[in-house]
Each structure stands twice: as structure tokens, then as C-alpha cells.
Structure 1
Amino acid sequence: MTTARVRVSGPPNSNFLVGYPGISATLPRIEGKVEIRPALGHSAPFHISYVSIGLYRRETVHPHADTKIVNHLAAPRKEWTDLVGKELMLYRCHPGVSHEEILYMDLPFVLFIPFNRPGYDAVRLPPATISLPSRTLETFYELVVSLHQGNQNNSEMKRFAFPVPLCRYDSLSTFGMYNVQEVQEKTTDHLVNLGIKLPRWSYGPGDTVQINIYVSPNPDWSKAKRVSIRNISVVIEEAITFNPEGDEPKTVINKIQRQTLNVQRKLPAEGFQTHCALLFPRKEARDNDGCLPRQKQGFPLYHVSGFTTTAYLYKIEYFLTVKATFSAARDITLRQRIVVCPLDHESCKEEMDAIEQAANDAKYVNPDNPMLPSPVIIRPKDRNALHKLGMTYVGTDRKLLIE
């Protein structure tokens, strides 16, 4: 049985991914066509029963991958695979026939990535592609083409996988919901209150995290007049939770940025205010020679090690922790959740116009019946069938076709 060669190509001069995952107004989807050609002989027909395509998500976690374990057998890497949305049937041979002989196939397709639609039940959006250092955790997407080649005597199922990076755009720091001021206050012994104000709460690599910090005494000044402020520390924490929906979730806290303000003064009656600015860490993508390494297939090149995301096997969250140390009063710690985006603030601004244009284009797309080009299927008995493969007959000899 002649084997087939499979390739997936996107629209002309564009990528597979159309729209912006995480933003439902853009109808995020994967468009392209499956190209099937003879693998051997260049023009030998192959047998086809059916062809289908689906988007699969693969997650792997290894909580101890970034630690050196001596004389100890580490836990194995855990893996989980799931179909995103639905599998799409692209071709099936006629009823009552086990297979058909095909010479050339182009099968257009569009796979809609799940998104929340008004009036429908909320669905869990697929998380973005990510790979942490040492492959502690990974999320990876593949377009998988299932090809059933067979006849009554010999049947074979083959799968062809093509990596597809998937980004999420619902955490851009330019969205209005992230530019609403966040305020939090806390007290431990009713002598002093610690409060913080965040002008916005979504950040990317190299962005400045602005925090307004204020310490106010108890309205009864006689209770707080002996309190002194020693120092105030601000820490950005990365919290990775493995197996978040299981029986024994495990959380690892990484402190990725810290700043300490040495105050050393008595708390005045009117209170104390200060401002702190932290630079969110930016991962250097270039090596020591200033060269960009080859991009890992299926993974975008981010300038952050991690970002806010929730998957099946893990969850990554970020917190801004402010701790005030006092004398004659108990220390106070505030923990405020923040969102980390893979793009910095300037890059987020640049994406806004493109997102608006994608939303306007999506108004003309019907998710229930997208308009697709007709498939191209050439059988050996079709007239000028070899022309599609760039060949023809000259007398009884088969020659390359020259236009």
C-alpha cells in the first residue's frame, strides 16, 4: 500500500491562528488546509478511508525538575493530553466502500478555539503555551491529522502532528479592568493600619510596579504614640500550584523581586506615606554573544519566565506582598494578587488596534457555518490528473510538466 505525505499550511501570508485567544469578540480560530500527496513514487495513488483533524493540548509537570536530588529517585514526569473543542471530519469515502484511490488532496478546515459566548454556559478557555526553565511545567498544542489508509486486507491508521503555539490576550495591561485602582488595608492589634494602593494591577516584563503605601495610627493617638516604623519590604512572589484540583495540591513560592525601605522613625499622628516602584524582572533572551537562540518548536519566545495562567495539572499566580515591621506593635503583612502578562505595557498598546480590527473582521464569520473553499480531490482516473503533481504523459513516457 502506497503511503501518503501530509502537510498543514495556513492562509496565504499569515499564520494558522486567526483572532486573539481569550478575546471572544475576535472568534479565535485556526484556519488552513491539509495537503495530502503521494509519499513514494511522486505520482503513485494512495488509499484513503477518512481524514480528520483536531487540536490537542498536552501538559507535563515535574515539580522536582529544577532541584538536584542526590541518591534519591525523583517522581516521574506527569503528563496529560486532551482534545480542545471538537475533532473535525474532513473527508470520508463513499458508503459501502472500504477505501478510495486518491492522487492529490487539499482539504480546507477551520477549528474554533473555545471561547465564552453571551447567553451560553461558560467554558474553560485553553491556557497559553508555556515552558518554565528545566521543563518544570509545560503546555503544548498540536494540530493532529488522523489519516486512515486501508482496504479489506490491510488497514492502517496514521497520525501526523504539527506544533501550534497558542497565546492568550485577556491579560493585556491596557484593558480597562486592570487599570482600576486596587486598595487594601489591614491591622493586627488595632494600634496601626497598613494600607496599599495600586494604580493598575497587570504587569509585563520590564514594567514598573507602582505602589502607594500608607501607615495610619489608631484614632485614639494615646494608644499608638509609642509605635515606631522600622522598615517596609515589598516582594513580588510567584506561586506555582501543582495538582490544583487534586487531593494533595503542592504550592511552591518563588520570590522574584524585592525592595526594602529602611524607615526607622516614629509614627506621626497624621500617619506615614511612601511610594515604592519595582521593576518587574525581564528575562534576557539573548545569550552571552548577543545572539537569539533557536526558538523551540511550538513555544513562543517570551521575555518572562512565567505568567498568570491556570491549567489542569498546575496553576501560576502572582502576588505583591508588603510587610511593615514595627516596634511596640505587631508586624503587618498584606498580600495583593496581581496579573502578569507575557507582553510589556508598550507591546500591549501596539496590539490594541490589531485586536479591534480582528473583532471587526469576526463580525462576518458564522461559527456554525464558516465559509470555506471547496476541497480539491484528484483521482487517478480524472482528466489531466498528473498535472496537479507537476507531471504529464508524453506518448507513453511520464515527464515533468513544464508550463
Structure 2
Amino acid sequence: MTSAFVRVSGPPNSNFLVGYPGISATSPRIEGKVEIRPLLGVSAPVHVSLVTVCLQRRESIHPSADTIKGHLVTSNRREITDIVGKEMLLYRAPLGRESEAILSMDLPFVIFIPYGRGGEEMARRVPPASLQLDRRAAETYYEIVVTVHHGASDQKKYPFPVPIARYDTLSTFGMYNRPESAERVVDHLVTLAISLPRWSYGPLDPVSVYIKLTPNPDMLRKAMKATVKAITMSIEEEVIYNHQGDEPQRKAKTLASSTHRVGIKMPEAGYFTNLGLVFPARDLRNQEGIMPRQKREFPLYAVSGFTTTGTLYKIEYYLVVKAVMSGAKDIMIRQPIVVCPWDHAGCKEEMEAIEQAAKDAYHISPDNPMLPASTIIRASDANGLKSLGMTIVGGHRKPLIE
């Protein structure tokens, strides 16, 4: 039985991914065409009984990856594989036949990526973005998987990597540009309050925070004896590994920090200040200053991680403000923030394209996406060889010269 050459091609001059995952108005989807040709013998027909296509998410974690030297031990690695959305049936042999002899097949398809937050209904959850942490401590990647059945028992799968990003954490969205505030009291003497003008950040974005320390008016004399020694501000990344059934493991690390020395007694009116730092970015270039080629499964980001939630892991970020006191207990606030893979300028550039994608998707229905017709050339078709650039001359197969 002749093997098949299978590939997936995207729409002309664009990627497989159309629309913006996480933004429902753009109807995010994978568009493409499965192309099947003979692999050997140029024109020997391929026997095909069934062709399906699906979008597959592969997720894995290794919580100890950052502490192991040398080769990673695989026994600790946990992996899952899920189908995103639905598997599509593209072709089935006619009833009563096990398979059909095919010279060529072009089978258009569209797979809609879920964009509703459907609670416990997994099929409607927005899939997490493609991501690979250092030393593969956690990774998520996607593949378009084409399955070709050549008979009742013979089938072969063909995976094609496709990177997927999420666009619902852009720092330009209004929901992230509203002030967030929090306050904390430890020993009833001093209150620490903070206010963030916005709470979504990307690489090299400025992070500023308004800080207010006020004495308790009911214990004013005792509170004013306390000294504000210093105020520290830091950004923490926390990865929560979930082995599904095991106790989740939490690993936190500080990405950036700054310290503001104060050294004054607590004023009656309180102490107010603004602090800031720059959200860290990693250099994408190598030691020779060359930008490495992007991996097919993962987009290149100037951050090592970003806010995301998968099945096996979750990454969260916190802005930590700590008032170091003398004569009173230290006070700390750990305020959740959102980290976006792109900086504020990059997010602004995407906004216009997102609006256009929403207009383009307005008339698209997931129930009837209006796909082009499939093109199937069977071995029994008259002039079927012509589709492969071949013809019969004197009983022999020859290249077709028109």
C-alpha cells in the first residue's frame, strides 16, 4: 500500500491562526487545507478510508527542572494531551468500500478556538497560550494533527506545530487601566496603603505605585514613636505546579526589586511617596548578538513567563510592597498584577488589528463557516493523472508537457 505525503497549508499570505484567541469578537480559529498526495512513485494512488483533523494541546511540567544539573530526569515529568474544540471529519470512503484509491486531495477546514469562559465545561474554556519556561519546567504547545486511515486497522497521524498566543491581557484594555488599591495593618499602630494606576505590564514597562503610611489616630502617641526605616518594592513570579491529585507545589522568585531608604519618625499626617521600577525584560539575542530562529512551537517573547493558567500549572505575578519599621511591626502588601507578553507600545499596535479582525469576523458563523469545496482526484477519474503533472503516452506514464 502506497504511503501518503501529507501537509497542511494556511490561507494565502497569512498564518493558520486567524483572529485573536481570548477576544471573542474576532472568532479566533485555525484555517487551512489538508493536502494529500502519493509519497512514492509520484502517481501511485493512495488508498484512503478516513481523514480527520484536530487541534491538540500538549502540556507538561517538571517542578524540579530548575534545581537539576545536567540531563533532566524524566520520571518527574507529568504530561497531558487534550483536543481543543472538536475533531473534524474531512473525508470518509463511500459506504460499502473499505477505502478509495486517491491521486490527490485538498480538504479545507476551519477549527474554532473556544473563547467562552464556560466554567466547568472544559470544551468552552479559552486555551492557555503557548509557553516554554526555562529548562522546560513547564510548557504548553499546540499541533494540528491530521489522521489518515488507510483501511480498518492502518492509520497514521501527522502533527504540524502551530504557536498560539492570548490577547486578553493587553495592557491597553480599559479594565487594566483603572486604579487598584489595597491596605494592610499589622499591629494597629501604622496602616500601609498602596495604589496602582494600572495593573497590566509587559517587558520594560514602568511600574509605579503610590504608597501611604498613616498612624492610627486612636494610638497616635505610640504610633509616632515608630520609625520608617525603608520601603522596598519588588515583583514576584509564582509558578504553581499541579500534578493532578498531588499537593500543588508553589515556587516563587523575585524578578526585580528596589529599596527606598527613609529613616524618619512617623509624622502625624503620615508618610507619602511614589516608587517605581522597570518591569524586567530578557535579551532575546545570544552571546554573539544574533537573534536566534524562533522555535516552531513557541513564539519569541521578551519575558520568560506571563500570567497564564493551564491544567498542570499556573503562573501568577505580584507587586510586593514592604514597609520596614522600627518600634512597630513590618508591614507587607502582596498585590496581584497581570503580566502581558508585549510591552505597552506593542499592545497599542495590536489594538487596530484586533478591531479590524472583529469586523472581518462579524459575518462568520461557527455553525456554517462557508468553507471552499474539497478537491478530490480519484485514480478512476478521467485525466486524473493530469492533476499530478503526468499523462499516459503509449501505455507508459510520462511527465505532462502542455
User: What's the TM-score, normalizing by structure 2?
Assistant: 0.96
CA distance in structure 1 between the partners assigned to 2:65 and 2:200 by the alignment: 29
What is aligned with 1:197?
195
Give the secondary structure class of the aligned counterpart of 2:260: strand
Give the secondary structure class of the aligned counterpart of 2:89: strand
Residue 91 of structure 2 is aligned to residue 91 of structure 1: yes
What is aligned with 1:317?
316
What is aligned with 2:112?
112
What is aligned with 1:41?
41
What is aligned with 2:128?
127
What is aligned with 1:337?
336
Residues 304-347 of structure 1: CA distance to partner in whole angstroms, max 9, x if unpaired? 00000000110000001111011111110101000000011000
What is aligned with 1:60?
60
Question: Is contact 1:214–1:272 with CA below 8 Å preserved after alignment?
Answer: yes
CA distance in structure 1 between the partners assigned to 2:187 and 2:297 by the alignment: 52
Label 1:352 to 1:16 Cα distance change in 2 as closer, same or farther (>3 A). Answer: same
What is aligned with 2:77?
77
- Offset, 1:349: 0.1
Amino acid at match of 1:81: T
Q: What is the RMSD of the two structures over their aligned residues, measured on CA atoms?
A: 1.9
CA distance in structure 1 between the partners assigned to 2:169 and 2:193 by the alignment: 25
Question: Is contact 1:233–1:259 with CA below 8 Å preserved after alignment?
Answer: yes
Question: Is contact 1:64–1:75 with CA below 8 Å preserved after alignment?
Answer: no
- Offset, 1:393: 2.7
* Contiguous gaps of at least 5 residues in structure 1: none
Question: Is contact 2:117–2:125 with CA below 8 Å preserved after alignment?
Answer: no
What is aligned with 1:28?
28
Question: Is contact 2:78–2:243 with CA below 8 Å preserved after alignment?
Answer: no
What is aligned with 1:393?
392
Give the secondary structure class of the aligned counterpart of 2:319: strand
Label 1:44 to 1:75 Cα distance change in 2 as closer, same or farther (>3 A). Answer: closer
- What is the total number of aligned residue pairs between the two structures? 399
CA distance in structure 1 between the partners assigned to 2:265 and 2:310 by the alignment: 47
Label 1:306 to 1:23 Cα distance change in 2 as closer, same or farther (>3 A). Answer: same
Question: Is contact 1:244–1:312 with CA below 8 Å preserved after alignment?
Answer: no
- Offset, 1:245: 5.7
- Offset, 1:69: 5.9
Amino acid at match of 1:250: Q
Give the secondary structure class of the aligned counterpart of 1:353: helix
CA distance in structure 2 between the partners assigned to 1:402 and 1:307 by the alignment: 56
Amino acid at match of 1:3: S
Question: Is contact 2:117–2:126 with CA below 8 Å preserved after alignment?
Answer: no
What is aligned with 1:303?
302
CA distance in structure 2 between the partners assigned to 1:73 and 1:277 by the alignment: 41
Task: Report 1:211-290 matches (<5 A).
Answer: 211-220=209-218, 221-243=220-242, 246-290=245-289
Give the secondary structure class of the aligned counterpart of 2:135: helix
Question: Is contact 1:24–1:117 with CA below 8 Å preserved after alignment?
Answer: no
CA distance in structure 2 between the partners assigned to 1:74 and 1:261 by the alignment: 44
CA distance in structure 2 between the partners assigned to 1:294 and 1:42 by the alignment: 33
Label 1:157 to 1:73 Cα distance change in 2 as closer, same or farther (>3 A). Answer: closer
Amino acid at match of 2:50: Y
What is aligned with 1:376?
375
* Contiguous gaps of at least 5 residues in structure 2: none
User: What's the TM-score, normalizing by structure 1?
Assistant: 0.95
CA distance in structure 2 between the partners assigned to 1:292 and 1:359 by the alignment: 33
Give the secondary structure class of the aligned counterpart of 2:217: coil
Label 1:230 to 1:141 Cα distance change in 2 as closer, same or farther (>3 A). Answer: same
Label 1:359 to 1:219 Cα distance change in 2 as closer, same or farther (>3 A). Answer: same
Label 1:352 to 1:394 Cα distance change in 2 as closer, same or farther (>3 A). Answer: same
CA distance in structure 2 between the partners assigned to 1:219 and 1:363 by the alignment: 58
Question: Is contact 1:59–1:139 with CA below 8 Å preserved after alignment?
Answer: yes
- Offset, 1:395: 3.6
Task: Report 1:141-220 matches (<5 A).
Answer: 141-150=142-151, 155-220=153-218
Residues 127-177 of structure 1: CA distance to partner in whole angstroms, max 9, x if unpaired? 0000001111100100100000027xxx41100000010100000000000
Label 1:245 to 1:79 Cα distance change in 2 as closer, same or farther (>3 A). Answer: closer
- Offset, 1:83: 0.8
- Offset, 1:401: 2.4
- Offset, 1:402: 3.2
Give the secondary structure class of the aligned counterpart of 1:350: helix
Question: Is contact 2:17–2:28 with CA below 8 Å preserved after alignment?
Answer: yes
CA distance in structure 1 between the partners assigned to 2:243 and 2:358 by the alignment: 34
Identity, in percent, stands at 57
Decide which moves more: 211-220 or 393-402: 393-402
Residue 348 of structure 2 is aligned to residue 349 of structure 1: yes
- Offset, 1:75: 4.6
CA distance in structure 2 between the partners assigned to 1:134 and 1:294 by the alignment: 18
CA distance in structure 1 between the partners assigned to 2:101 and 2:75 by the alignment: 49
Residues 31-82 of structure 1: CA distance to partner in whole angstroms, max 9, x if unpaired? 0100000000010001000000001111111111111369x97852111111
